[in-house]
Amino acid sequence: MHLVKNKTIPISFLLLSLYSVILVYSASFQTALVRYEVSAHYFALRQFLFFMFGFFLLFVVSHLNEQIIVNGKAIKWMYGVSFFMLLAVLFLGVTTNSAQRWLNIFGFMFQPTEVIKLLVILFTATYFTYFGKQIEKSDRPLFLYLFLSFSIFFYYSF
């Protein structure tokens, strides 16, 4: 049995990712040598490592059972962890460009708001899965959800 029926998407993903590594190398080798005094391959190697990490995560998540991911308990647990990460930014956050939005965990800098973006997508999918029939019958739950979504969007936009 083939794991992938349509090979166009994985091949395109692989080619675009390798092309991005080549572009990072061509755009940054001089900066790496002169400004940072590191190997010319430094930024390209980092880009490749992040690509490999992302590909590994893509592989793991694509093989998960979606019922585990959209389970009500799993969503609540993920939101709880994300909430505490956002709180951690207040106390342990790293300030960059006058904004305290980053967490430094084991030398890896990331923004917890990026995790929240993924969780909003999962929450939306779960919401529409469980309340799809009621949404078809009434405009009220959909209006409430859209109001909450847009209020979050506008809060972070300004």
Asked if residue 148 and residue 135 are part of one domain, the reply reads yes
Give the residue from 90, 82, 91, 153 showing the smallest Cα distance to 112: 82
Asked if residue 76 and residue 57 are part of one domain, the reply reads no
Exposure class string for 33-62: b at 16+ Cβ within 10 A, else e: eeeeeeeeebbbbebbeebeeeeeeeeeee
pTM: 0.60
**Containing structural domain, residue 38:** 1-63
Asked if residue 104 and residue 26 are part of one domain, the reply reads no
pLDDT digits (tens, 9 = 90+) for 62-88: 787 777 776 777 878 888 898 899 899
Asked if residue 144 and residue 86 are part of one domain, the reply reads yes
pLDDT digits (tens, 9 = 90+) for 11-38: 888 899 999 999 999 999 999 999 999 9
Q: Which residue has the tokens 């969007």?
A: 153
